[in-house]
Chain A
Amino acid sequence: MPSFLPYLYHTLFPPTVRYPDILLIDFGLIMAGIGLLGFMTKTRRWGWLWREWLTTVDHKKIAVMYLIAAIVMLFRGGIDAEMLRAQLALPTTKFMPAAQYDEVFTTHGTIMIFFMAMPFIFALFNAVVPLMIGARDVAFPRINAMSYWLFAFGAILFNISFVIGGSPNAGWTAYPPYTGLAFNPGPGENYYFLALIIAGMGTTMTGVNFLVTTVRMRAPGMTLMRMPMFVWSTMITSALILFAFPPLTVALAMSLFDRLFGSSFFTLTRGGMPMMYVNLFWLFGHPEVYILVIPLFGVFSEVVSTFSKKQLFGYPVMVVSMLAIMFLSYGTWVHHFFTMGAGPAVNAFFGLSTMLIAIPTGVKIFNWIFTMWGGRIQLTVAMLYQLAFIPTFVIGGASGVMLAVVPADYQFHNSYFLIAHFHNVIIGGTLFGLLSGLYYWWPKMFGMKLNERQGKVAFWLFFIGFWITFTPQYLLGLKGMTRRLYTYPIGMGWHELNVISTFGALIMGAAFVALVYNIVWSLLYGEKDLTGDPWNGRTLEWALPSPVPEYNFARIPVVHERDAWWAMKQRGQSLADLKPEDVRDVEMPRNTPIPFLLGASFFVVGFGMTFKFWPIAIMGFVGVILCILFSGFDYEDHHHLKADVIRSTEASLGRLQG
């Protein structure tokens, strides 16, 4: 079929993916791929990769896979950001074509939120939540692996768009009718909708999983009010995910139907209602920003209390404020579009609800400060990120309140003031929190510390780079610069500030390089954590050796108070006083290839639907159904870990008596 091949070539490789820089990246990817294949084959790692990683259901290994994905995506999103800043540094430049610029800001936003921040958060959930509550795994280990592979294949589907077919280009919010076929005929937006639907299914399942885990799997004695704050934040985030993701999935699916099957939910013609999409999107989108930050409130609560060597101040108030944020966050979504003519009563209501949500958030800030008050503050890297977070987040929150003032928002909407605000809270809150958690729990995940000196270099570069990048953007907003502008005329007075901002972005790029160097160096030469409790921690995960054995706890601990491990240490107890007769056989989940295959099948579905290659999509669907059926009738989903194995493992760690 010679006539078929040119068609295929033009569909898969249109001119938009044949820019010189993309061709260069193609070449690099192919070379790296061949190199990796060669390395894996030469060192005979394929079996190891399959048995130990691709089929694993162990929450600790899933955490590592989430973490790797998140850092790779941080790199991709960061490169996008550097490209954007390069384009914007000077007026009327053409660093790249306009069409490519539109793709780059779209992928930057989408990747940073859905494929960097979310998996990074899930990496922390998976790494420590079961350990903190004294459990051997999450409630549904197999679903946990499915969540990961759905996310991973969603991310892969989204990321191949820039080499095959063309990237989405409608912004991370993908407002219709611009996403309709009339304005956007390429496959890019199909990629966006399908990748987010697939990854979103994984996220929803993670929400279910961790909600059940935190509710049902806690060790005896760990009542709700004795849970570590990070576990509270996990529980609340999971509840948020559970109710926030369905509107997103609906909105994405309806947009996809408009594109693939000719419906007109949101189209320009035939009575489409684009504003309905906007409502659905932000009905998800506002809880989403709290999904992105509440887990880090949990991380900060752990970090500040550990490194101030002091109890968390006002624990009940922290819980109440987090619950208040959870409920209020469902009632503020219209503040993302005060300028869509919702009328004064609606706008005033949502302005007030937005201000209301600032109160519990402010309360938390005071509680963190008073946790340090009367403590002994150790300036480790994890604590430095916490200390950077407080002032940064307060300023970000203050600009958020300014945006909540409805008439002021008429001026700020879609301007660089808004851009500066949300980077201020997302980088200052989410990214600093993620890195704080990374440095804090790294020894627990990998058995060695990240080098503190190198970590401090990366921290200061991030912190200084952040402020140099985003302070000018607040001012640019006041000068009337709006978001997603490809370029701007001379004479608006925007270029000085843009140059400064780009300079700051370069510093943040250097910070990323320093971070990766720090990680690689520490993996090779880092100080081993032999005690399992390098920070003099307070919660149960520090009672275990680092890295944690497969079964986590040889004997499930009994909890009598908050900060259970701290209290045990005060009483001179530990979990290392195990007697041989304490150890019993343990039921553990069995590894399974189903989650990986399910993810791969969904990838095939997504790819087929993106290009409307229906036979491929149907093959994928068959794969999905087979995986689900097989999983449903697979009763051999666990195995017994013999007590002898556990005894010898514990003995080798020096934790067995007699």
Chain B
Amino acid sequence: MLVKQISVFLENKSGRLAEVTKILADSNIDISALSIADTTDFGILRLIVNDPETAEKALKDNGFTVSCCSVIAISVPDKPGGLAKALSVLESEAIGIEYMYAFVGKAENEALVILRLDNPEKAVDMLEGAGVKVLTSDTVCKL
């Protein structure tokens, strides 16, 4: 149930994001979700794509530093308290959240969230046990 996320190191200078997206477009990669963490000097672009292996290779071939890790994707009811319920499950199990970001899909009345956790396998079990909808890679890419 884990989803592969690729991360790309970017210096804070103009044109870098455009470059990444162009390389991905040329490799026919579809981006499902993305987020950027930025500091004064650099940024980390995180991407969920339909073909992470191809994307990783294309970016590396073009000189980017890329790493791959596992995250989980959940969908929660798009109403007040929807996300809170899912996060309370993680909190009760003392699973730390490194970072998270929401993304947009075509699912109606549902909000989609990517979570980077310190123990993703356990989190999947816990979340599913508590009735939270955990999405597979395929589902994420089709959204």
Check if A and B associate. no
